[in-house]
Structures are given as structure tokens and as C-alpha cells.
Structure 1
Amino acid sequence: MAKDHRYSHDQNFKNLILDYPLKALEVFCPQEAEALDQENVRIIPLRQEQLKERLGNRFRELDVPLLAEWPDGRREALLFVLEEESDPRRFSIHRLAHYCLDLAELCDTQRIVPVVIFLRTSGNETDHLTLGGDHHQYLNFRYIRCALPEWEAETWWDSPNLVARLLLSVMHWRDDQKLEVYARSVRGLTTLEPDPEKQLKYIDFIDIYSALDDNEMEQYKARYPQENQTMTSLSERLRAEGMAAGIQSGERAVLIRLLERRFGPLNSEILACLNDASQKQLETWADRILDAESLDEIFQTH
């Protein structure tokens, strides 16, 4: 498995869960996710501002509480509490139980599913908490333990779940499978995620947790030319689009400044028109500024 690096694992996993909440639940708590009736359920991240205000210092910002709601009201909402731990020594089941009880009170619900995702594991993390006396147990608390280094990557090789494919590098694999793990993750990203911007975002995620060195990357390019070419083309296209967008944004800002100096403050309708304009329209309007006597002459269509 790839070793830890100087990155915010908490934030990386928070982004992953928030971008793909249903897919994350399918991977980390499949039995609970199976009952969600995905066509009708709505997954809503709890607002962190509200949690911080209501829970004060007990609120831990990088937890990811997800509320599953059925808009027709036929089932009570279900709250998923997902916590990522990159260092198992930091994990406290008492802290997690306390946090879940706080959320249960805050959200007025008894339907809570706590999940802990371990990027490293000692294999002996406490998975249950029991409080009681000599005669009775008065509190029993458990959580779903997802120790990714104990999961076999090969089991998820061809998974149709994008989150699983992105996590292959943090699962268990043999040293001779490192390039295959990287290729399977990249292939999953390019086939399961149609959004080019998210593809570029999560190739960084794959790079972080795969941690190929220069020599391994050269081997990868030689062994998997198709996957490498796909990501190279995507990166070049998005970089070109970003440069074009930056140029257009700059021209729009200059045009607004010139219009305001010539005709005074612009109303919201004209500003909206400028924001929606193409590169060609901006150039046409800029050419008219010197000769036009009014804004109407600049924005005329004929």
C-alpha cells in the first residue's frame, strides 16, 4: 500500500464523500446503502456552520455527516456519520460515541450509522463500547469498521463503483501489482466519471495515494499507453480551456471598466449580458465603444 504523504487526508476524503455520497455509502456501509431506495432518497450533507454553532467545541469540522431523506416522508431520515482516521492511535471510540449522541440529540433522531475509515490500521482498534454494572449493560455502541489496508484491491479491480476504484491504492495489494492498481484506478475514473473537471481533480487523488516515482511512472506509460494518453489529452484540453477562459474574463473586465468610464454605472441587465457573452460578442462591443453615443448603440444587434 502507498505510504502516507504530507497531504490533508481528512480533506481529501471529505471531498470524495461529498462529491460521491451514494457511491461512498455503497462502499463503506453496503447493507445500509442497499436499503436506501436510491431513486427516491435524497442525500444532504449537514451544514457545518449549524453543527459548529450548536455543538460548540465538540464539533469536529472534518467529520462528514450525511442525512438521507425520503421526500415523501414515508421513512424517517437516516444519518450517516463518516470519519476518516489516517493514524489509528488518534481514534477514540468514546469520542465517536459522544459525537453520535450529540448529533442524535441535535437532529432529534435515533437512526444513526457511524462509520470509521482507517487508512492505516494496527488490527486491534476497538470496535464496540459497552457500559454497565455488575448486573446489566446499559449502553452498547458499535460502528462499521472500514480498515482499507485489509481490503483486497483485486476484489474491487473491475468495480462499477467509482469510489472503490479511486481507493484501490489504499487497499492491500502485492508489490508487483502497483502499476496495475494505478491503471485500474485511472481506467475507472475515465470510464465512470464523465465530467472532465472531476476527472482532473481525482487523477490528483489517485497520484497522491499511488505515489509512483519517476521510474514507475515511465514504466506505467510504456505498459499502459492508452490510459496515459487519455489523461494527458484531458489535462492538455482543460489547461487550454482554462487559459482561454482567463483571457475572456480579462477582456470582459476591461470592457466593463471602459463602459462605466464612458456611460456611468451599468445596470444588472447589461452586466448579466456581459457575463453571458461569447468571446466574439465581447470583441464586437469593444470595437463600438469609441464611436457609440449610447449603450444602446453598443449592444444593438444589427
Structure 2
Amino acid sequence: MGHRKSHDQNFKNLILDYPHESLSFFATEEAEDLTPSVKITPIRQEQLKGRLGDRFHELDVPLLVEWPNGEREALLFMLEEETDPNRFSIHRLAHYTLHLSELFETERVVPVVIFLHSNQNIAESLHIKSERHSYLQFNYLHTQLSSLPAEHFFNSQNIVARLNLPNMHWSEKDKIDVYANAIQGLFALEPDVEKQLKYIDFVDIYSELDEDERKAYQRRYPQEESKMAGLAERLRNEGMQQGMQQGLHEGIEGVLRLQLKLKFGELPDWAEAKLRQASDEQLTHWLTRILNADSLTGVLS
């Protein structure tokens, strides 16, 4: 369950950080009219829990799209990531769609499902009927990431597409190129250093390069590897500069804590205890390991 929740959280973060790009990629048909001027607002979970209860998709991402000057009625997108297609229930999705429609008093609701893995048996529509009448026809937009050919998106200007290259379909011989194109897209399309760090981790998680593949990447793509090393060096320098102002130890500890939270979320008590007890050398060492680590224990071991 924890592994599934981590996927859900990864995609929730992605959609919240890049709502325009997510709708353009995952809901292409409906996103054609979404100009940069539209306002996209995430619906807070508290708004849903009070009315719908905990048993409804607590990790999905409803986005309210509003046009300037009210030129068009608002549109509610609900995006949900489904790691295991066998767990997917079209009845549950239809149930939730109807509840959102009632809650927000609108019939303009677009259900979107992102399948991390493919399954030919996924129900794509639901038709409630008898011999005489049709009573409910339900459809939804969906993307099966592992069915999309990665090479078709190598030059995409949509950062959500580029970051998801490792989740698409590719042959084993192209694995390093897929990883490199995702990293190149991140550096080209995202200027913010903290988000670069955050989504290097996203690409790493879904690429799962082993040590030999990482070395091959470093040899084949020295420019991108240099940028990643420069990013790590910049973070270390920021820690040193902050340390000069606040005291070396507190400065490095503060920057390390910030970067750990950006990558892994709120820190558990054991991690906080390790940070408080660490020496200057240990803190600096952990700071150099944060880029390539794929877990909190991987950094603080």
C-alpha cells in the first residue's frame, strides 16, 4: 500500500506543480481550449472530505478551470493515477464523478485516469440499461503511459510528457537515452532549481538506473551529468553561505532539512533526531548524497 501511495503522491505533486501541462498531456481533447489566461485552481481535500467522506479518492486531484470574465462556464477536471489497472473500478469512478457534479452543482466534469501500466481489459465505458431503455452512459478520458512510444515525445515541449518518458514504452537498449531526454527536458523547460531537484528524483524513481547504467549515462551525456553535479555543488554552496551567516552547522543542517523535505515530504522523528545529532562532516556528506538517493534512508544511512 505504501508503494502505491508513493506513486499517487508523485503524480499528485506533478499535476499540482504543472496543471496546464498535465491537462494538455493527459486530457488533450478537452484541453484544446485552455489558453494561458484560464485560471486553474486545485480543489482542497478539506472541501471534499467534509462532504464526501474519507472513502472517496483522497489522493486524486480535482482541478477547477475558470475562464477570464466568465466567458465560459467553469469546467471541473478530476485526474486520478492508477498504478495497478486491476484495481480500477469504473463504477467507483462514475460514482465519484456524480458526487463531484452534485457537490459543485455543475454537469461540466471531466474524469481523467492515468494508468501507469497497461491492461487490455480495462473497462472504457459503462452503460446502465434494460431491454427497453438506456439510463446512464458513462465514459472517461484515459492514458495508458506504458503504451505510449517514448521516442515520439523525446522533443516534446510539455514538461509533463518529458518527465514521464521513463513510464512510456521503450526497448531496453534505449533506456539511457530515455532517461537523458527526460533530464534534458527538465533542465530546458523548468528554470527553478528546487523544482529541478524535485523532478530529477521523479525521473530517477521511474527510470531505476542501476550502477552500470548510471555510469554509461555519465559517459554518454557528460553535459547533463555536469549540470546535475553543478546543481549539487550549488546546493552545497548555499549551505555554506547560509552557514557563514547563521553558524556553519545550523546553516548546513537547515539547507539539508529543506532539501530532504522537498524530496521526501515531512521528516519522521528518527530522521529529525539524526539531523540534530550529526556532525558538520556528516551533514555535508549527506548533502552530497541527496541527488542520487531514492529514499530517505538512502541519504541518512
Which TM-score applies when normalising by structure 1?
A: 0.78
Structure number with higher relative contact order (C-alpha < 8 Å, ≥ 6 residues apart): 1
1:232 match: secondary structure:
helix
1:145 match: 142
C-alpha distance after superposition, 1:5-43 (max 9, x if no partner): 7870000000000000000011011121111222x2100
User: Does residue 54 in structure 1 map to residue 51 in structure 2?
Assistant: yes
CA contact (8 A) 2:4 2:83 kept: no
Change over 3 Å in CA distance of 1:82–1:247 after alignment to 2: farther
Amino acid at match of 2:20: L
Deviations along 1:69-98, one digit per CA (max 9) or x if unpaired, are 123111110000100011111110000000
Aligned to 2:111: 114
Distance 1:35 1:168 in 2: 25
Deviations 1:214-240, CA, capped at 9 Å, x for gaps: 010001100110011011101220232
Q: How does 1:29-178 map to 2 (within 5 A)?
A: 29-38=27-36, 40-178=37-175
Give the equivalent residue in structure 2 for 1:23: 21
- Equivalent residue number for residue 295 of structure 1: none
* Superimposed CA distance per residue, residues 192-216 of structure 1 (whole angstroms, 9 cap, x where no aligned partner): 1000110011000000000000010
Report the Cα distance in structure 1 between the residues aligned to 2:247 and 2:126, rounded to whole angstroms. Answer: 58
Percentage identity across aligned positions? 59
Paired positions, count: 247
Distance 2:236 2:105 in 1: 47
Amino acid at match of 1:97: A
2:290 match: none
Q: CA RMSD in A?
A: 1.7
**Is the Cα contact below 8 Å between 2:63 and 2:76 reproduced in 1?**
yes
One-letter amino acid of the counterpart of residue 42, structure 1: K
Assess if the C-alpha contact under 8 Å between 2:153 and 2:161 holds in 1.
Answer: yes
Letter in 2 for 1:152: P
User: How far did 1:57 drift?
Assistant: 3.1
Matched with 2:179 is 182
- Aligned 8 A contact 1:127 1:143 in 2: yes
* 1:248 CA displacement: 3.8
Aligned counterparts of 1:49 and 1:239: Cα–Cα separation in 2: 37
Q: Greater CA radius of gyration, 1 or 2?
A: 1
Q: Which moved more, 1:70-79 or 1:206-215?
A: 70-79
Mapped to 2, the partners of 1:59 and 1:80 lie a distance apart of 16
Query: Any gaps of 5 or more consecutive residues in structure 1?
Result: 254-302
Alpha-carbon distance in 2 for matches of 1:151, 1:248 = 50
| 1:58–1:99 contact (8 Å) kept in structure 2 | no
* Residue of structure 1 aligned with 2:218, choices 211, 216, 221: 221
SS at 1:117's partner residue? strand
